[in-house]
Structure 1
Amino acid sequence: MDNNTTPLLEVEGLQMHFSMKGGAFSRRAGVIKAVDGVTFKVFPNETLGLVGESGCGKTTVGRAVLKSIDPTGGKVIFHSKTGEKIDFVPMTNKELRPYRQEVQMIFQDPYSSLSPRMTVQEILEEPLRLAGHTDKDYLYEQAKIMIEQVGLRSSHLMRYPHAFSGGQRQRIGIARSLITRPRFIVADEAVSALDVSVQAQILEILAELKEKMGLSYLFISHDLSVVKYLCDRVGVMYLGRIVEVAPTDALFNNPLHPYSEALMHAIPDISERQIRSDILAGEIPDAANPPSGCAFHNRCKYAKDKCKSEIPELRGFTDTLDGKEIFRESACHFVEEIFYNHDKEMV
């Protein structure tokens, strides 16, 4: 991705802190920093993957970006189709309403995300009705177009969700998310509830629709093979922070952060698919009581004294991939010493 291209979405210093309460009077007992200063960009027609072990904060990032939960700090700057730069964070739901058509979400569970009391036609038409469309012929025509775009038939519009398989329901969910012709989609574990064979079909649909409709995705997943297949770039999260961002091939072939490297080591065969935290040394720290300094230092084989006391910033680097210059970021104090002079042969 050309770093000079104007981003579609810019997330700057995003925070999602939750207060813990305890004691007889439910006094504030501490803070869980589920998301703590996350910064990234998503460019037009790009799929940015977000990966990390369970509990790292990646789902919270997706929800905070779309304001389904209110961030406690930072900026989420969206470049609207009118050319405006809008920061979602301070806006009310009423102020956000004009932009809801441009940003949508694909949910993880195709069974609970569709109302069993509505036909497929009603499910698809609902976002358009909320956007102010009332013409019945227009609503039906848009529903028909969208259901066919995801590989189902117009005759399916009269049916209820219980008549469909999990993969078909996820197609309906995708159609509902795209019927307002959004430009940016958050897909949170969008294929994780499906069989592997069905996952491949849904990923093909997402890839095809990205090209047809000029979409950008924030694709959140713990499945590294899915991320490798679908994403242009990947952000790696650990304990509420992004520790590396890189083009997908560069990350998988040449990680520049100890945690990213550990994830690659944890999948000796990419067909194993899932992030295997059992192979990573040590325990995931408690988010309510994170380590000082670099949060990964207690599991990092390269850790030095500095890592235990200073939080590393996410820094940019130029690298080469297939003879082309690329831009990538790493939050490691010793990235130059360890990774630019380190033999990365997998062991």
Structure 2
Amino acid sequence: MKAYKLKKEYLKEYLKSLESFGEVWGPVKKGEIDVYEKITDFSQLNLNALRPILPLKKFLIPPRFTTFFYKNGKYENALKEVKRRIIFGVHPCEIHALLILDRLYKERFPDYYYLTNRKSTLIIALSCVPDDKCFARSLNTHFVEEGFDLGFTDLEDYYLVWVGSSEGDDLLRLRLDLFEEKITSKDLNHYIEWRKWRDNQYQLNLDLTAMPDIIELSYDLEIWNEIGEKCLSCGTCSMVCPTCTCFNIVDYLNIADEPGRRERFWDSCMLKTFALVAGGFNFREKRTDRVKLWYTHKLKAFITEFGKPACVGCGRCLANCPVNINVLEIVKILKGEEVIKK
């Protein structure tokens, strides 16, 4: 993987040049939160953003969109072409989530809408420093070697820039004059020392050793009832999670001589109506059952099928749960470890 250097003073000039390739998006501060937005004023770009409230998946599977129109037994795809876009400032843990989505949407049942958006989206990764809600290091998602087109590592007064794809090489060569090709041993040592320093900044740890078996043996524990009583079933954890993929589909019929349309939108297995079927029967009417399903999928089913959890340690669920349900404490309780209440 080839690497270059870019002085920080040239960053905004370089990002501005990418507009000739496609729309440029990045994290922008909105009140107390960060959001991914299309960048028109590069002075608004928040290079220290911790975690945009909605993850990268919003670009690939939008929160709500029309899939197709239909009339007289024929249908027409609503999504035909997507403008090229470059997403800057994506953290390593979120790229790991993107790799999980790739497996879900590319392999057994290829998803036309995801793949169309994915093909038109380029990723520029940016290194980060964890806060008190990030636990990516314990899941080995705090660094990334694939899934990005360019990768920027912040080394004080310059960026070490990694080329991760042929498209990334094209992006870099738009303004190759801004980059330095010579990487010295001093630069490499600087990077190694930075990696060591950054690894020591993580305050939280999540040990998922034997978690599938532990959850299998813990279905009847009182802890699930306690969490269920506390949970508001608001679905926030699912909406902000970069790997949650629950969705619903609604058909809108038109009695006039106009096409009908089918819409697809984000849903959550934490919501009471998610498992509601015809006749009014609800497979998971109790909050306890929905909470149990959420954790079983993340920490058992996904590990069993794919060899890794459907969690990347980004900390969004910890940061946004209105009643402070903590995945770290729940795992410790299930493993019989002592939990210190603050």
**What is the TM-score of this pair, normalised by structure 2?**
0.24
- Which structure has greater strand proportion? 1
Q: Which has the higher contact order (CA 8 A, sep 6+)?
A: 2
- Which structure has greater helix proportion? 2
